[in-house]
Structure 1
Amino acid sequence: MSVSVAVVGVGSFGRNHLRVYRDLPKADLVAFVDAEEEVRARLSAEYSVPAFATVEELFASGLKIDAASVCVPTVHHAAVAEKLLSAGIDTLIEKPIASTLAEADALIALAEKHGRVLQVGHLERFNPAVTAAFSHLNRPMFFEAHRLSIFTPRSLDVDVVLDLMIHDLDVVLSLVPSPVREVRAVGLPVLSRKTDIANVRLEFENGCVANFTASRVSTERVRKLRFFQPHQYLSLDFARQDLFLIDVTAAASLTPAQLEAVFAAHQQQLDLQHPTPGLSLNKLPTEPGEPLKLELEAFLHAVETREAPRVTGLQGRNALALALEINAAIAEHGERAGLL
């Protein structure tokens, strides 16, 4: 059975939803919505599907729609998703779920009221390296995340925390079974009017600590997460979909900094026994795949089976709540430092 799907908003990322849906056997791409007339004409011809200027025009067409992706700017997420859910359409909303917690709560309640699937597009949850990391968890106690990008005019309706860092916030929240106890953050606008670079330190109730750095004004593109747990250190590269494990079998007294130096010096020797006595360095197996394809396949599976999606509306709300708390901490720091 195929699921009739539509995409609302076909900007740079929405077009990827069009592409992937078109190629998925379980998806029947039947329409898309976009406000730009030239975009509608061009992509309608390319994908051989009708295009509409508004969700209301889509509904008026009488086309059967089972599910839809919402890929409009964040400020419009709630308004668009509300119309879809109210019409009985299962909905995937690109991250973040909404602009405010009130909007997120309303969407979660609406999905429950109408018995609809509500999935949030936290793409990195479907990264093969993240999937592999879950099977190696053993009380992680320290995380370090770096997500750096070269500046582009895309997504300037939100700051770097809601644009980039929220990916890593969601992943770490999924890996740490404990509430956040303390948030410390600093951030600055550089090339836009919103925060373009931020550094955050979180402490969880169970004692775990996580450091995050996100920048959209970098000279390089970096997507990495590293975490330490008893006698182990794992390094995850989102872009390469690699997961490395340093296992401390006899040298448990090494500090995190020493382990980091060992990893940097020998990361090219992944298939060999680690030269330092008591340490082994291995590249863990991952199943390569395009995260967006895996995400949309999971969404369609939830639509078909009525199971809870891998990234629920509540989990999307939790990531948004933490991102907004971080932004409040950045604003408070800016006031104290006389930057605002």
Structure 2
Amino acid sequence: MAGTNPLRVAVVGAGAFGRNHLRVYRELQDAGCDIQLVAVVDRDIAVVKKAVADFGIAGFDSIEACLDTVGKLDAASICVPTVHHAVAAEPLLAAGVDLLVEKPLAANLADADRILELARKHERIVQAGHLERFNPAVTAARRYLHRPMFFEAHRLSVFTPRSLDVDVVLDLMIHDLDIVLSLVASPVREVRAVGLPVLSNKVDIANVRVEFENGCVANFTASRVSTERVRKLRFFQPHQYLSLDFARQDLLMIDVAAAAGMDPAQLAAMAQAAQAGGQHPSAGLSLTKVAVEQGEPLRLEVQAFLKAVHERSAPVVSGEDGRAALALALEINRAIAAHAERTGL
């Protein structure tokens, strides 16, 4: 990504997500990438001071102060709480800054549309921060995609006090919603969902069934009150079953052409045993552990964003993609609310 002048980059929001963005930008700069990390913005002065000390950059408590002082910015990551995404995006887009906005794109569709309208008005790039799209196992799985008809997604996490400004659907499940939407490429026909608050005042665990117009069905389970961490996606398509582990970045593929009469649960059990090394495929089944080139999804995401900025090209995960995932997540939340009302929860 060579250029006449390095891209001048800032990070807005220096919490856990923001510090990771700062780290990745600095690593890319140190590796010779044509960028310069110049500033961090956060309302918490102590957080700003630590980031300034750790990364040797300018620090500010407001976007306006940053723009007034550092001069031209080319790109920025927005890592503030979701409810503040649109407010943070507005002055940056007006100043001609391209944005990588952490997921979810916004807290509601009105804010998402505001961000996208401003991006069009100022001819700026907005990339939605769905970093699991850049997981090497997802990238590998796309090569074998032909007609997925059934998905099973599980994303379980132990409870932490972060991201409690949103529910588990907007916090965790939205990763899988975005991936499945991109793989199915068909409008949603029906949503059924149930969810419960457990340790917070928002929904902490949810189970969802989505049917698409093309007949594909996807089941999603997300929990942030689990005793274990699980990030897996399985999908079935004619003559093939694929099992993807986000954390391990591995992909298992089973050719099921000879598996007439074997139900999905049996295939899933086979795949789980094979991944653990405890079972070999049955006669007539071809099992392959697909070669996956390992990599940090956030680094790959940031590199893709910087490439789009340099080349003035469409981002891999567009703002419109982010809006689509948000729209489905909000529809799911409405279904959860309707179920709770029906059942008196």
Local SS of the residue matching 1:13 = helix
- Residue equivalent to 1:77: 85
Provide, for residues 221-279 of structure 1, a one-character-per-residue CA deviation record: whole Å limited to 9, x for no partner.
00000000011110000001111001123223321122112223332449x9x441110
After TM superposition, give the deviation of residue 110 of structure 1 in Å. 1.0
| One-letter code aligned to 1:38 | A
Residue aligning to 1:61: 69
2:293 aligned partner = 287
Q: Which runs of 5+ in 1 are unaligned?
A: none
Amino acid at match of 2:295: G
Q: Give the Cα–Cα distance (whole angstroms) in 2 for the partners of residues 268 and 146 of structure 1.
A: 18
Output the CA distance in 2 between the equivalents of 1:108 and 1:45: 34
Partner of 2:139: 131
Counterpart selection for 2:111 from 103, 108, 118: 103
Q: Distance in 1 between matches of 2:254 and 2:226?
A: 29
Give 1:167 deviation, angstroms. Answer: 0.2
> Is 2:333 the counterpart of 1:333?
no
2:11 to 4, 7, 10: 7
Asked if the contact 1:26–1:300 (Cα under 8 Å) also holds between the matched residues in 2, the reply is no
Instruction: State the number of aligned residues.
Output: 337
- In 2, the alpha carbon distance for the partners of 1:310 and 1:138 equals 20
Deviations for 1:179-205, whole angstroms, at most 9, x for unmatched residues? 010000000000000000000000000
Identity of aligned residues (%): 68
Map 1:258-273 to 2 at 5 A: 258-269=266-277
**Aligned residues of 2:190 and 2:212 also touching (Cα < 8 A):** yes
2:38 is equivalent to residue 30 of structure 1: yes
Q: Does the 8 Å contact 1:231/1:252 carry over to 2?
A: no
Paired residues of 1:141 and 1:227 also in contact (CA < 8 A)? yes
What is the TM-score normalised by the length of structure 2? 0.96
| 2:96 maps to 1:115 | no
Partner secondary structure for residue 163 of structure 1: helix
Structure-2 residue corresponding to 1:89: 97
2:11–2:39 contact (8 Å) kept in structure 1: yes
Is this contact kept in 1: 2:73–2:97, CA < 8 A?
Answer: yes
| Correspondence 1:278 to 2:281 | no
Deviation at 1:46, TM superposition (A): 1.1
* Inter-partner Cα distance in structure 2 for 1:280 and 1:36: 55
Specify whether residues 323 and 229 from structure 1 end up closer, same or farther in structure 2 by C-alpha distance, changes over 3 A only. Answer: same
Partner of 1:322: 328
Bigger drift between 101-110 and 310-319 goes to 101-110
Correspondence list, 1:180-195, <5 A: 180-195=188-203
1:300–1:261 CA distance, 2 compared to 1 (3 A): same
Pair 1:223-2:231 in alignment = yes
| Runs of at least 4 residues off by over 4 Å | none
1:199 aligns with 2:207: yes
Query: Given the alignment of the two structures, is residue 251 of structure 1 paired with residue 259 of structure 2, yes or no?
Result: yes
Structure 2 Cα separation of the partners of residues 264 and 70 of structure 1: 38
Asked if structure 2 preserves the Cα contact closer than 8 Å seen for 1:251 and 1:277, the reply is no
1:304 equivalent in alignment to 2:310: yes
CA contact (8 A) 1:132 1:286 kept: yes
Q: Per-residue deviation at 1:86?
A: 1.0
Residue deviations 1:25-54 (CA, integer Å, cap 9, x gap): 232100010111111112101101010000
2:180 alignment partner, one of 169, 172, 179: 172
Tell me the C-alpha RMSD between the 2 structures: 1.2
CA contact (8 A) 1:143 1:228 kept: yes
Distance 1:86 1:260, change over 3 A: same
Matches within 5 A, 1:207-218: 207-218=215-226
Equivalent of 1:21 in 12, 19, 25: 25
How far 1:60 moved relative to its partner?
1.3
